[in-house]
Structure formats: C-alpha cells, structure tokens
C-alpha cells in the first residue's frame, strides 16, 4: 500500500529518495514526504497529493543530507493532509510506517500521561512519540526503538531516523514487507525491490518479526525473539524491476497488451511436452476438499477456478473472501489443500488467512506474482504466475496469469483423481496453448471497444451478466469498470436476473452479456431476451456462432474468437478489461491510480 525508502549514502539523498518514491507511485498514495539528517540536524519536507508537489517544495526549500527516509502515504487514520503525512517527527526522532498500529488509542492515553500529546490523527504518531519517550528516559536510539516495538500491536513496516545519527537507520517488520539493500559504502531500506532497484541489485528480505540496525558498514538483523539472525542476501534481476510505459499512454494499456506474451511465458513453464509441469507434492488424489482464499480480483480468479476444480476433477471446492475467512473460524478437513492467491503476495487479509490454516490442512499453496513475498515464503508450495511487474492498480495481466496457473492445477487434479483421460488432457492443453494467439485476436477489437465506451461513459449504472464460469467473470468485469471509471456496475449470474436485478432494467442501463457459444449459451440468451423485452441496451460479447444466433435486437455486439470450454474466461477477460479502460479514458479519470485505491493492500 504505502511506500518506504531509506538511504545511507555517499551523496545527497533527497533526489534519490524522491526518485525511489516515484517508482512506488503505482502502489497508490495521497501524500508524500522525506526527512534527512544533515550535520547532525534532522529536518523534513511533506506535501499532499502527487510527488510533483513534494518535488516543487524541494526546489524552493531544499533538504540537504546524506542520510534520509521517505514515504508515500495512503490515508487510513486521518485525512490526506500535510500534518498527517509521513515522516512523522517528535524531537530527535522521525519515522515512516506502512500498516496499522491497532493499539494506538491505548498508547495515546499512556503517552498523554507522560506529557506527550499527539498532534495528528494518525496511528503512526504513537510510534515516534513512544520512541521519544524512551529516549527522554535515557535510552539510546537502538534501545528506544526496540522498547517501542515491544509495545506495538498490529501490522507494520517501520523505519527510524534520528537526529545526530547520520549513519543509522533502524528497520522493523511485522505483517508488512521490508527489505534491506546492500551497496558499496552505502545501505538502503525499501518496502519492495522496485524501490531499491535503481540503487542496488543485492537485497536481504526481513523475515516476520525481524528488526535491523543498518549502518553504511552493513546490517545487524535480529529475529522476533531478539536473537541475532542471518538472512540470505539475494541478487535481483534489475530488468525484472523496470517500470516503463513503453510508449503506451497508461500502464494499464501496456499491461493489457502484454497478456499474450506473459501468458505464453506461463504456459511454457507449466505445460511441457504432453503434460503438466507442477510440483510432485501437489498430489490431489486423496483430498476431501480444496479451500481457495483471496481478495478482490484474485477472489474472482478463485471463483472461476472453483468451476474448473469441481467439473474437471470432481473435487469439492470452497472459496472465501480472505477478510471474512478466519473470523468465521471455518473447520478445515485435514485431507485438504488451502490455496492462497495474491498478486503482491503481501495482501494482509490473505496472509492472515494463511496463518490460520497452518497445521490445519495437509498443504498450503501460494499462487503469487512475487516469489519472494511473505505469502510465497510461508506456504508449503509457491507457484509463480510469471506476469511480470504490474503497475496499474486495476489488475489485468496478473488476473489472466492467475487463471492459467489455477487451470493447470485443476487439470492436474483431474488427472490425479482419474477424471481426465490422456486424450482429454491433450485437448485441454491444446486449448490453453492456443490462448495467446486468441488473445492477440481479441486485442484487435480495441478500436471498436473504444467507440462503444463513449456510450458507456454516459451511463450511471451498468450490469454484467454471465453463466457458469462466465458468472465470476461478470463480477470481475463490473469490478474493473467501477475501479477506474467510477461508474456503478454490478455483475450477476444470468439466471438470477429475474430474482430481483431485472427491476433495474430500463433504456438508460447498458447490460453487458458475456456469452461464448457453449452448453449454457441458450440459457444466457433467454435471460438476455428478458432484458431486451424491457428496453435494456444489450452489448453481447460472443463468438461468431453466438452472434449469428442471438445478435438481433441488441444495442451492439463484440466478436470474440472461438475458444473451447472450459477456459473461455481467460480469453473473455480481455474485452472486459478493455471496456473498463476505454470507458475510464473517455471519462478522463486516473486510469493507473484510481482514487481511494492502492495496488497492494497490506492492512486489514
């Protein structure tokens, strides 16, 4: 969600901090700031809005120093104001923070008794006030930070900077990622590898509960029990952290267009020869159930996969929104797998659900885009989706790559359980391998969709309909549209239309019907006819056979290539994404960084 960067450098750090924060803009934020130590003096600059506002401020009011910290904030406790922006400071201490301090109210009461009154609305300020309190009591910075950590409850990544200490950063993580970067005579701290990529390719990821004392000579890392810890230093591929639009107007447009390529990469990894390339320990033979847990778009990927696991493998499958899962304390059969899907691998609710499942199921499986993420490291098996960096807040290529990995798992489950014969498997693999080419054809409809979007941009409400595995895709299409265009949109199972939502239909409500010509097509067309009988404006998205059968009376049609069941949702995701993208562009909204949203949700 928020972004953190820290530098102990050999040159002025303010430009480095701002440049690194720019690489974190994709995470979503509404204010930004930096703090430095110069000749022993601690100072800071903060601004509301985009980073250009902070850059302008630094032009007129520069900040010198070769040690500093920076932050992009996505408001949780307290509005997006300069006073609530990070870094927070009290006396000789400055702190930046990702996450939530859950017991901040109790801590505020304790601090008030010590005469330290909060000046902001944030939970983070309690961290800096606690540290100052301990320093006022005589503790040096390192001990004061450790004493502060002992009193905090919640999820956090923290980075401290101290007046008079131009060769010290203190970092800590609990439930929110943080990494240390190694240089030559320099050291860095960042919330992810993307922030650190311009500075170093040597990174150490802090483990859950770690804290570290960072100087230019290196880092001393301690675990949650206070014991000295050795954490692996890894070398990252800087090419994999490059964030560029490559000539596209928006990152989202670029990422939609990349899908044939990245899906092809994932196919080559997971489909090899005449079979599937999945870890041998993923044996579905004797399982009683699968549990799939995720949030947002990843949840809809799981919803599609439920159809696949149950129809292809005869394996009962439960899906749940991560934020609800652990609070209802679901009973989990020991002979079951729990699968956790997350683009970032740091989604707080999904990570908490994973920890609930530890020791309750026979295996936990991560489906993630970041193989070094917390969810990947804490699961028994981690399957990378190989989508590459996704910058646009509204997920596109990560969604289709998640679907591909889940499809491969469903096919393996079908083979393991004797539900898929070799000839049938060959047919399914051929369907998957054909998808990149079909996606290229689907991308060719972009100009037509751009024209349709001019009409959609005028709507106040839009409905999406689908049956079978296309039902969760209707939900995903509606989510994409409302995320970036701010138009109210809902997805429904086509058969549910007459159980209430049909009351919304009139001439002003476009209805987008996702309907490949499959075994459920006729049922979907019947529901579509009910819409048109009530003057609903139908956009039918189907293949040639479907349009030849059912296009009469529709407002518009969009032709997709034919694709064999059951993997049509992977292909039909593209027109849903393009509809959202072009509608948002027509409305003039911020496509890549929509209001109130963040790329990685690392708080509950």
Active site members: 2, 599
Cross-strand bridge partners of residue 381: 365
Spell 195-206 as b/e; 16+ CB within 10 A means b.
bbbbbbbbbbbb
* Distance separating alpha carbons of residues 17 and 394, to the nearest angstrom: 26
DSSP per residue, 372-401:
TSHHHHHSSEEEE-------SSS-SHHHHH
SS3 239: helix
Q: N- to C-terminal Cα distance for the chain?
A: 11
SS3 31: strand
SS (H, E, C) 87-106: CEEECCEEEEEEEEECCHHH
Q: 89, 94, 145, 159: which is closest to 120 by C-alpha?
A: 89
Peptide bond into 87 cis (omega under 30): yes
Number of H helices, E strands in the chain: 19, 27
Q: CA 112, 115, 120, 125 torsion: positive or negative?
A: negative
Spell 469-494 as b/e; 16+ CB within 10 A means b.
bbbbbbbbbbbbbbbbbbbebbbbbb
DSSP per residue, 315-352:
--EEEEEHHHHGGG-----SSEEEEEEESSS--HHHHH
* Distance separating alpha carbons of residues 356 and 114, to the nearest angstrom: 38
Cβ(155)–Cβ(176) below 8 Å: yes
User: In angstroms, how far is CA 21 from the centroid of its own chain?
Assistant: 18
User: In angstroms, how far is CA 324 from the centroid of its own chain?
Assistant: 18
């Amino acid at each position: 969600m928020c972004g953190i960067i820290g530098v102990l450098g050999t040159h002025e750090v303010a430009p480095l901090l701002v440049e690194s924060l720019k690489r974190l803009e994709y995470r979503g934020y509404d204010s930004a700031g930096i703090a430095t130590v110069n000749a022993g003096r601690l100072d800071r600059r903060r601004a509301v809005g985009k980073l250009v506002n902070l850059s302008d401020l630094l032009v007129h009011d520069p900040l010198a120093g070769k040690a500093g910290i920076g932050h992009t904030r996505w408001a949780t406790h307290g509005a997006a104001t300069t006073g609530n922006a990070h870094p927070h400071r009290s006396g000789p201490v400055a702190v930046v923070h990702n996450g939530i301090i859950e017991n901040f109210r109790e801590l505020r009461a304790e601090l008030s008794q010590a005469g330290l009154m909060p000046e902001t609305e944030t939970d983070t300020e309690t961290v800096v006030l606690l540290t100052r309190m301990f320093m006022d009591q005589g503790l040096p910075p390192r001990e004061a930070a450790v004493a502060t950590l002992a009193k905090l409850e919640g999820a956090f990544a923290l980075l401290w900077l101290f007046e008079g200490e131009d060769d010290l950063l203190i970092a800590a993580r609990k439930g929110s990622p943080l990494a240390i970067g190694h240089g030559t005579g320099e050291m860095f701290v960042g919330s992810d590898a993307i922030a650190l990529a311009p500075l170093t390719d040597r990174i150490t990821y802090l483990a859950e509960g770690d804290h570290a004392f960072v100087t230019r000579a290196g880092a001393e890392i301690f675990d949650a029990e206070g014991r000295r810890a050795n954490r692996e230093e890894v070398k990252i591929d800087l090419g994999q952290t490059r964030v560029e639009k490559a000539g596209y107007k928006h990152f989202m447009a670029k990422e939609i267009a990349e899908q044939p390529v990245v899906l092809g990469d994932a196919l080559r990894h997971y489909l090899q020869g005449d079979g599937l390339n999945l870890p041998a320990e993923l044996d579905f033979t004797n399982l009683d159930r699968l549990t799939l847990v995720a949030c947002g778009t990843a949840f809809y990927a799981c919803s599609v996969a439920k159809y696949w696991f149950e129809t292809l493998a005869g394996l009962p499958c439960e899906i749940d929104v991560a934020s609800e899962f652990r609070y209802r304390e679901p009973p989990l059969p020991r002979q079951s797998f729990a699968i956790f899907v997350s683009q970032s691998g740091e989604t707080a609710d999904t990570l908490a659900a994973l920890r609930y499942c530890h020791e309750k199921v026979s295996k936990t499986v991560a489906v993630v885009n970041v193989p070094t993420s917390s969810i990947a490291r804490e699961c028994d098996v981690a399957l990378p989706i190989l989508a590459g960096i996704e910058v646009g807040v509204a997920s596109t290529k990560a969604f289709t790559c998640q679907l591909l990995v889940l499809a491969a798992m469903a096919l393996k489950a079908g083979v393991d359980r004797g539900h898929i014969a070799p000839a049938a498997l060959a047919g399914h693999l051929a369907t998957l391998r054909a998808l990149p080419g079909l996606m290229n054809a689907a991308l060719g409809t972009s100009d037509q969709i751009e024209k349709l979007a001019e009409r959609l941009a005028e709507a106040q409400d839009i409905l999406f309909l689908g049956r079978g595995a296309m039902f969760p895709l209707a939900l995903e299409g509606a989510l994409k549209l409302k995320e970036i265009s701010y138009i109210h949109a809902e997805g429904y199972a086509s058969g549910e239309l007459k159980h209430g939502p049909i009351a919304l239909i009139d001439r002003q409500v476009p209805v987008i019907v996702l309907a490949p010509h499959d075994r459920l097509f006729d049922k979907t067309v019947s529901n579509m006819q009910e819409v048109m009988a009530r003057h609903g404006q139908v956009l039918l998205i189907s293949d040639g056979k479907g349009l030849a059968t059912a296009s009469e009376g529709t407002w518009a049609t969009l032709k997709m290539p034919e694709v064999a069941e059951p993997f049509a949702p992977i292909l039909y995701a593209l027109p849903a994404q393009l509809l959202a993208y072009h509608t948002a562009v027509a409305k003039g909204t911020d496509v890549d960084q929509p209001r109130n949203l963040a790329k990685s949700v690392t708080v509950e």
